[in-house]
Amino acid sequence: MANEAQPCPCDIGHKMEYGGMGSEVPVEHIQAYLCKPPSSTDKAVIVVQDIFGWQMPNTRYIADMIAANGYTVICPDFFVGKEPWQPNDDWSTFQDWLKTRNARNVDKEADAVLKYLKKHCNAKKIGIVGFCWGGVVVHHLMVKYPDFKAGVSVYGIIKDTEDVYALNNPTLFIFGEKDTVIPLEQINVLEKKLKEHCKVDYQIKIFPGQTHGFVHRKREDCKPEDRSCIEESRKNLIDWLNKYI
């Protein structure tokens, strides 16, 4: 992901000062952040962290936003206790760090969270949303698990294998036009492969002028065009969940 021209592939951006409306709960071998909606529901959404971890305030803000729209939302620690990436870490070591946190090796955690939602939260219809590293997790799980009725992968892409295009259920992919981590060429390949192999509804949305992390790590008041893209992308996310869950 890193290169000499872009040594910092995932700038933390604007880290919110936000405490969260939910609470932390144990889920078998991992911890998770759980937020419940205003009224009881059988609909739930798993939110998957970016490289900065499950306790990132920005991610919890999005989890609470989804919960406010009528879903039980859980954000588990998919790093299973391993330290998240820190903004002051040495980016030359990033690839080695990433190898110990494989976004396609999360089935044990996914199983535990699905079991928890069904047993303790009365969840019967479950979706999943992920950012960056978590977007890759979403892509992987939407191919492998029919349990997820809808998925939203936000600036996450799997590009090193051919077995990830037969999605089980509707999936929305959100990208920024100016994302140096995921260039437009990779998005074009994704779209081509989905057209060839995917039998369910999917959508790829590319937001003009936006960079990696814009949906949850950029302040809405940066520029007017940023604000409109951030608001539209979040609305698209909620609308997709509402449509298919």
The catalytic site residues sit at 132, 179, 212
The answer to whether residues 30 and 40 touch, using CB atoms and an 8 Å cutoff, is: no
Tokens 């077995």 identify what position? 163
How many C-beta neighbours within 10 Å does residue 114 have? 20
- Inter-CA distances, 47 with 135, 173, 223, Å: 10, 15, 27
Q: What do you get for the CA distance between the two ends of the chain, in Å?
A: 33
Tokens 């998770």 identify what position? 32
What does the alpha-carbon distance between residue 59 and residue 77 come to, in Å, rounded to a whole number?
12
List of residues 6+ apart from 190 with CB closer than 8 A: 157, 159, 173, 204
What does the alpha-carbon distance between residue 197 and residue 165 come to, in Å, rounded to a whole number?
6
**Strand partners of residue 84:** none
The answer to whether residues 35 and 20 touch, using CB atoms and an 8 Å cutoff, is: yes
Say if strands 72-76 and 30-35 run parallel, antiparallel, or are unpaired.
antiparallel
